[in-house]
């Protein structure tokens, strides 16, 4: 209760400094994707799906007389339905530093460098109990009851930005499925130049405690990641690595419902822009050993390996046509699963 009162007091006192206004400033953006996907699984029949995805975002902000900008946002989406408004209230101060309150996330994930990868909406739709990760920031847990601080640009040295976050118990009752009880995260991004190239390095570290009404887990979610991109003219090259522990719900038994996963992943990609044409090539290789809540570890690795490429063409302002291909291989406890395969996508996106 003490933590809840302290956060509520900080929020109210900060927002109370704002001038009374009739309405905040709102900006809108959105996108609409239409296309066709063709899947060829490793076993079973080929399928094809019509892709129709839309999103509409609203960003809200206003600046107080003291120079602090208060902002938040929400998004309407049709691919998963409903409204997505699990965003924080962000306070950006006159010196360029910022503080996010509630739904702040984990600072480690904030500094996840974007590695080029295949564009398009292709992917295999199968389900599996293989738990190898596919993203370098897979171990960045948090609760909704959190704060995150961001430094101003050029923190201590030119090109450096850092963040730190903490989230506490959200007050939700314990349940059979384990969830994050509290977490912390730190992260940094450093941008510099080397000859004609702009180099971006991002890294993060996270840890947490878990909460469950069943058998307490022997490992908590958390880990690290580091990524580097180099931009030289129209060419971008990136590589990233992540390592850590997560919790998966495999659900087949009470113990496996809270599967503990010790995994790592490497991700690499290239992007090249030539006029209105953009070429993307990306690869992911993840592996993990998973265990039940008693700590009985698997003897062989789960793995996830993916290679993809895409070509995009800017048809007109805000309109892009994309042809993409991805091939996925998934192994569960060292054996190939039926959830891998290849997929093509052809379609167009419109954004504003």
For the stretch 266-278, pLDDT in tens is 999 999 999 999 9
Nearest to 205 by CA among 190, 185, 188, 219: 185
| pLDDT, tens digit, 9 for 90 and up, residues 157-168 | 999 999 999 999
> What number is the average pLDDT over the span 134-147?
92
What integer pLDDT is reported at residue 81 of this predicted model? 55
Question: Does residue 186 register a pLDDT over 70?
Answer: yes
> 173-177, 278-282, 293-297, 338-342: which has the minimum mean pLDDT?
293-297
> 68-82, 152-166, 306-320: which has the minimum mean pLDDT?
68-82
Share of the chain above pLDDT 90, in %: 63
Q: Which two tokens stand for residue 185?
A: 């995260």
Give the domain range for residue 82: 2-351
What integer pLDDT is reported at residue 22 of this predicted model? 66
**Could you please report the per-residue DSSP string of 171-198?**
-PPP-SS-EEEEEEEEEEEEEEEETTEE
Radius of gyration of the chain measured on its C-alpha atoms: 22
Across the chain, how many H-helices and E-strands are there? 2, 18
Q: What long-range pairs does 135-138 form, CB within 8 A, spacing at least 24?
A: 135/242, 135/265, 135/267, 136/112, 136/225, 136/226, 136/227, 136/240, 136/241, 136/242, 136/265, 136/267, 137/108, 137/109, 137/112, 137/204, 137/225, 137/242, 138/223, 138/242, 138/244, 138/246, 138/263, 138/265
Question: Based on the structure, what is the number of domains in the chain?
Answer: 1
> What number is the average pLDDT over the span 138-157?
94
| pLDDT, tens digit, 9 for 90 and up, residues 73-132 | 988 877 655 555 678 899 999 999 999 999 999 999 999 999 999 999 888 766 678 889
What integer pLDDT is reported at residue 172 of this predicted model? 79
In angstroms, the CA 120 to CA 281 distance is 12
In angstroms, the CA 149 to CA 301 distance is 37
The total of other beta-carbon atoms located within 10 Å of residue 27's CB is 10
> 45-59, 149-163, 309-323: which has the minimum mean pLDDT?
45-59
Burial of 122 (0-12, 13-18, 19+ CB in 10 A): buried
What integer pLDDT is reported at residue 6 of this predicted model? 42
Ramachandran category for residue 103: left, alpha or beta (phi over 0 → left; psi -120 to 50 → alpha)? left
| pLDDT, tens digit, 9 for 90 and up, residues 195-232 | 999 999 999 999 999 888 777 788 889 999 999 999 99
What integer pLDDT is reported at residue 127 of this predicted model? 65
Q: What is the CATH number of the domain that holds 74?
A: 2.40.160.10
In angstroms, the CA 201 to CA 240 distance is 10
Report helix, strand and coil shares of the chain as percent, to nearest 5: 5, 55, 40
Q: Which two tokens stand for residue 197?
A: 């190239």
Question: Does residue 14 register a pLDDT over 80?
Answer: no
> What number is the average pLDDT over the span 229-242?
98
């Amino acid at each position: 209760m003490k933590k809840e009162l302290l956060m509520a007091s900080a929020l109210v006192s900060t927002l109370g400094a704002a001038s009374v206004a009739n309405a905040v400033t709102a900006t809108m953006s959105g996108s609409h994707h239409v296309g066709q996907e063709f899947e060829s699984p490793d076993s079973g029949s080929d399928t094809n799906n019509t892709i129709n995805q839309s999103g509409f975002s609203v960003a809200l902000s206003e600046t107080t007389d003291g120079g602090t900008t208060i902002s938040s946002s929400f998004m309407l989406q049709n691919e998963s339905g409903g409204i997505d408004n699990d965003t924080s209230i962000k306070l950006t101060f006159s010196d360029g530093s910022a503080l996010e309150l509630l739904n702040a996330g984990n600072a480690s994930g904030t500094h996840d460098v974007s590695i080029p990868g295949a564009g398009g909406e292709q992917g295999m739709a199968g389900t599996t109990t293989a738990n190898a990760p596919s993203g370098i920031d897979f171990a960045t847990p948090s609760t909704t009851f959190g704060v995150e601080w961001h430094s101003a640009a050029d923190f201590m040295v030119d090109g450096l930005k850092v963040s730190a976050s903490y989230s506490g118990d959200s007050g939700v009752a314990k349940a059979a499925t384990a969830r994050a009880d509290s977490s912390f995260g730190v992260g940094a991004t450093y941008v510099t130049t080397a000859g004609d190239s702009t180099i971006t390095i991002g890294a993060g570290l996270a840890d947490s405690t878990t909460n469950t009404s069943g058998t307490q887990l022997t490992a908590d979610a958390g880990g690290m990641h580091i990524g580097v991109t180099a931009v030289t003219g129209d060419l971008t090259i990136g590589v990233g690595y992540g390592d850590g522990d997560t919790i998966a719900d495999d659900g087949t038994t009470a113990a496996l419902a809270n599967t503990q996963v010790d995994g790592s992943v490497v991700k690499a990609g290239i992007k090249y822009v030539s006029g209105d044409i953009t070429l993307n090539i990306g690869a992911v290789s993840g592996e993990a050993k998973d265990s039940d809540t008693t700590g009985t570890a698997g003897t062989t690795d789960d793995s996830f390996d993916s290679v993809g490429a895409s070509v995009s063409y800017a048809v007109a302002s805000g309109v892009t046509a994309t042809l993409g291909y991805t091939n996925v291989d998934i192994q569960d406890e060292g054996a190939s699963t039926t959830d891998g395969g290849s997929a093509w996508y052809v379609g167009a996106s419109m954004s504003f």
